Amino acid sequence: MIQSIRFATTHFRDIAFAIGLILIMSVAIPSFVAFGHTLIPSSFWMVVKNVSVEGDMPIPVVHFSREINSNFTGKWTVTIEGVPGGRIFCGSDMKKESVYTRDELKEKVWPIGFFAGDSSCNSIPEGDYLMTICWWFDAVLWDKPLCKTTSFNVGPR
């Protein structure tokens, strides 16, 4: 018993130092990793080459071309607003999490209502619009998504 007390008192500084170092590292390592992710540009994961909307169809169709450089998990949002005035006609809040892989098709074509997650987008009236799509990467801690905006016209059907 006396030996264990003697051991504890002689090595108290060493033990306290080790515990302190463990606590500091448990905070520092995740902080450095998080900071490192903020330095990585969105192009590390994905590059969106083109987004367009074919508005003269019975139901507008979204075309987009992208290249996924590294697998990631993320969400996307879509907003369609009228021009001029900026009235939002339809769109979506954060979509459910999706896994994006390099194997995915680079070119995609979707009916606008399915793409936006809002079936009311299928029946937007004639006029000029802006569609903004944003991808939010789960691995990134800042609130700066990769966004693309395109203009389109819905003509008579």
CATH code (residue 85): 2.60.40.10
Question: Do 65 and 137 fall into the same domain?
Answer: yes
Total number of domains constituting the chain? 2
| Measured distance CA(81)–CA(66) in Å, rounded | 23
Question: Do 26 and 95 fall into the same domain?
Answer: no
Question: Do 16 and 35 fall into the same domain?
Answer: yes
Give tens-digit pLDDT for 34-74: 555 556 777 888 888 888 888 777 778 888 888 888 887 88
Give tens-digit pLDDT for 85-98: 778 888 877 666 67
- pTM, two decimals, is 0.65
For 59, the domain range is: 42-154
Question: Do 69 and 82 fall into the same domain?
Answer: yes
Residue 29 in this model has a pLDDT that exceeds 70: no
Residue 33 in this model has a pLDDT that exceeds 60: no
Question: Do 11 and 83 fall into the same domain?
Answer: no
Question: Do 84 and 139 fall into the same domain?
Answer: yes
Question: Do 20 and 66 fall into the same domain?
Answer: no
Question: Do 17 and 89 fall into the same domain?
Answer: no
Q: Which residue has tokens 């907003």?
A: 79
